[in-house]
Chains A and B, each alone.
Chain A
């Protein structure tokens, strides 16, 4: 299945999560990530997309090749126009929810990726930008 190097998926329902996972996995495969690396990116996509559905109803994921200082990697950007996260620090803490306590959700994403940035404006939405380099 051909995959363009740059792609975005609207996240409105569960089927979109599957489509986004496939994009993440295939791009990772194209860059030479191992089966585990590919699964990690699929998981990251799943958690970010789930976050969008749970908290913002809809949004989009961008799955792209990222290049910098001689390396390549997969960058995933999750964008929504939801209510925003009032306190990002708390959202990343174990006490925030059952899932966060177990290290899933945004915490899980952060742990699997090499870079993790989050910008959230209350009332405007949230953007998570994260990269995993191919070592």
Chain B
């Protein structure tokens, strides 16, 4: 491999040569440090494989014949294990980080649920009481006063509608109560009404999925639909939810102008199209995102999330 530094190769070959001839701790330490350095300098585990392979090719022919082959193989393995150990640590840390992220995501959704509920129920309740108090006040007012009061009521109604909308956007209660597909239908209706683009929702989750999976799919469809409306100039959008064995997938297909994937992915616009956010939501669930698009042929996003049975 050309991207492994030369002195790392020399160092690794030296350590292996020394250890094959006579097992000793300093040689193992050297192998460990080479692995550590390789990791911190951003070279991958394949770099170590290449170092090890090249070192074997360098060192084995030089070996005197008096060491048994099986013993040599065992010693070479010990050197390799040392150089891979930093990668093992790193791997474990990343796995743990993913678990932490997943839990954090769940907490954020819980919090969103709480805030949405407070907005809808508590603030909504206060508004209702305000309406009642105004009714009472209206009885004592002149016709002119009543008219002015109706203006206040109209404003209150607007506010109430905004609160309801906001609560829904933060956390759609229909998602918790009825599940993914009804929530998507509800979402699609709202987006259609606002944009004038017809959106169909098809398919089924075949029973409820875990709250995290449902939320992830919902948020990603929400983001995808927003993208379509904002950028795609589409005439129609189709969303299909499919339950497979051990997985659920969801596709969002539009007949809009499409785009050249390579150019969008190369520039930082990918961020603007929300794919980064979608991937970030899918990652903790080991989900994947597949994007198919070309100018003039619309765009299809397919999300795939494995589900433990």
Q: List residues of chain A with CB under 8 Å of any chain B CB.
A: 17-18, 21-22, 25, 35-36, 39-40, 42-43, 46, 94, 98-99, 102-104, 107-108, 111-112
Contacts and interface: CB of A to CB of B under 8 A. Distances in A.
Question: 9 shortest A-B CB distances, which residue pairs?
Answer: A103-B93, A108-B89, A111-B92, A103-B90, A43-B85, A22-B25, A39-B81, A102-B90, A103-B89
Nearest to A50: B36
Contacts of A103: 89-94
A51 B107 CA distance: 34
A39 B89 contact: no
A108 B29 contact: no
Contact of A35 (B26, B81, B86, B89): B81
B40 A98 contact: yes
Interface string B90-108: 1111101100000000000
Contacts of B85: 39-40, 42-43
Contacts of A99: 40
Residues of B contacting A: mostly: helix
Interface of B: 25-26, 28-29, 32, 36, 39-40, 77-78, 81-82, 85-86, 88-94, 96-97
B292 to A, nearest CB: 34
Nearest to B83: A39
Contact of A42 (B28, B36, B90): B28
Given A22-B25, A35-B77, A108 B82 contact: no
A134 to B, nearest CB: 18
A104 B97 CA distance: 13
Given A22-B25, A25-B25, A46-B32, A111 B93 contact: yes
Contacts of B89: 43, 103-104, 107-108, 111-112
